[in-house]
Amino acid sequence: MARRAPSSRRQQLERAALVPVDWLEERSGLAGGIKYFLFRKVPADINWMQTLGSATLTAFIVQAVTGVVLAMYYKPDPDAAYASILRITNDVTLGWLVRGMHKWGASVFIILMFFHMARVFLFGAYKYPRELNWIVGVGLLALGLFEGFTGYLLPWDETAYWASVVGININGTAPILGPFIVQFLQSGIEIGEDTISRFYALHMLVLPGAIGGLIGLHLYLVVRLGVTSPPWSPEAAGRERVEPGPSTNGNGRAGLVRPGARSGAPR
C-alpha cells in the first residue's frame, strides 16, 4: 500500500479536483449548462468568419472592463471632465493605455459589429428560423452606435463638444419628435451643466445594461437555433419550415391562455 500506481494517483487527484465542480453541479446545474454551451454541436464545415460574433462579444467585454476602470478616475462635471481626462492620460499609471484601449476598442467594437453583420447577411444566416436574432442584432447595433455617440462627448474637449452639438441637432431634425429628443438629450434648451452627467449615465449604465441583456437574448437564440453551415456546404443551412398545424400551432403558448377564459359558457 506504500506505493501506488501513478495512474491511480492521477485518478485520485482528478477526483479531488472534481469535488468542487460536482458540488456546484449538484446544486446549480451550472457545470452542465456551461458544458452544453461550449460543446454543443455545430456543422463540420463552419468557417473562421463565424467567429466574428465572438470577436464582437470580446470587444464589448474589453469596453466594459476598461470603462469600469476609467470610471474610477473620470469626473462627469463640466468644470472637471477635461482635467480628469488629462490626468488619466498623463498622470495616472497606465491610464494612457486603458484610455487608449477604450478609445480604440470602441472603433473595433463598431467595426466588428458590421463585419459580423456582413457575415450573417452574406451567409444567409438571417433566414428562417433566425430572423428574430437578426432583429435583436440590429437592436444591438443601434445601442452600440448610441454608446459611441454618448461616449464621444465625455472627453469634453472642443471636438467632443461641437461634434455632440451637431449630433444632437441632427436628431432634432427628425419630424415631430426631433426637437423633444434634442431637449431630452441636452437636458435643456442648450447643452448645460446636466448634459455631460446625463450622457455619462446613459453611456455607462443604461446602454451597457441594455446591450448586456440583448447579448444574452442573442446568445440564447444562437444556442437554441444552432449555427448555420456556410453557403458552399453540401448540408442545407436552414431547415424545413414547420407548417403551422394543430399539432404545432400554439404549443408554446399552451397554458398561457386559460381555456376557461376563452370558452367559458356565458350566462
Partner 1 sequence: MEPKRGEHGSHVAAPSLWPVGFAIGVAILLLGTILGWVIAGLGAVITALFGFLWIRDATNDLRGEEVAIEPERREVAPRASATAEPRPANEGEAGMPLPEEGEVERYPRSAFLGAATLGVGGVIGGLVTVPVLGFTILPAFTSQGSGQVDVGAVDDFEKEQWLITTFLQDPDQGEVSRRTAYIRNNGELDGQPSFTILSHRCVHLGCPVQPNGPVRDDEATRETRAENEITRIPADPSGFGCPCHGGQYDTEGNRKAGPPVRAMDRYEFSIRGGRLLLGQTYSVSEVRGQGAEARIKRHRLAKPGVHVDGPSSWLYPISPP
Is residue 23 close enough to count as binding partner 1 by CB under 8 A? no
Q: Applying CB under 8 A, which part among 2-10, 37-45, 52-60, 182-190 lies near partner 1?
A: 182-190
Please write down the HEC assignment for all residues of 30-55. Answer: HHHHHHHHHCCCCCCCCCHHHHHHHH
Site of grid cell 437592436:
139
Is residue 261 close enough to count as binding partner 1 by CB under 8 A? yes
Q: Is 128 exposed, middle or buried (0-12, 13-18, 19+ CB in 10 A)?
A: exposed
**C-beta closer to partner 1: residue 27 or 258:** 258
Is residue 172 close enough to count as binding partner 1 by CB under 8 A? yes
Site string for partner 1, 71-100 (x = CB under 8 A): -------xx---------------------
Please write down the HEC assignment for all residues of 82-138. Answer: HHHHHHHHHCCCCHHHHHHHHHHHHHHHHHHHHHHHHHHHHCCCCCCCCHHHHHHHH
Task: Quote the cell numbers at residue 224.
Answer: 437554441
Is residue 246 close enough to count as binding partner 1 by CB under 8 A? no
Q: To the nearest whole angstrom, how small is the minimum distance from the Cβ of residue 121 to partner 1?
A: 32
Q: To the nearest whole angstrom, how small is the minimum distance from the Cβ of residue 78 to partner 1?
A: 4
**C-beta closer to partner 1: residue 22 or 79:** 79
**Interface residue with partner 1, options 2, 17, 44, 166 (CB under 8 A):** 166
Task: Quote the cell numbers at residue 82.
Answer: 477635461
Number of residues that bind partner 1 (CB under 8 A): 39
Structure letter (DSSP) for residue 77 = S
- Helix, strand, or coil (residue 252): coil
**C-beta closer to partner 1: residue 6 or 266:** 266
Helix crossing, 178-186 with 158-172: angle to 10°?
Answer: 150
**Interface residue with partner 1, options 83, 180, 223, 235 (CB under 8 A):** 180
70 contacts 98 by C-beta, under 8 angstroms: yes
Is residue 178 close enough to count as binding partner 1 by CB under 8 A? yes
Residues that bind partner 1 (CB under 8 A): 78-79, 162, 165-166, 168-170, 172-173, 175-176, 178-180, 182-184, 186-195, 254-255, 258-261, 263-267
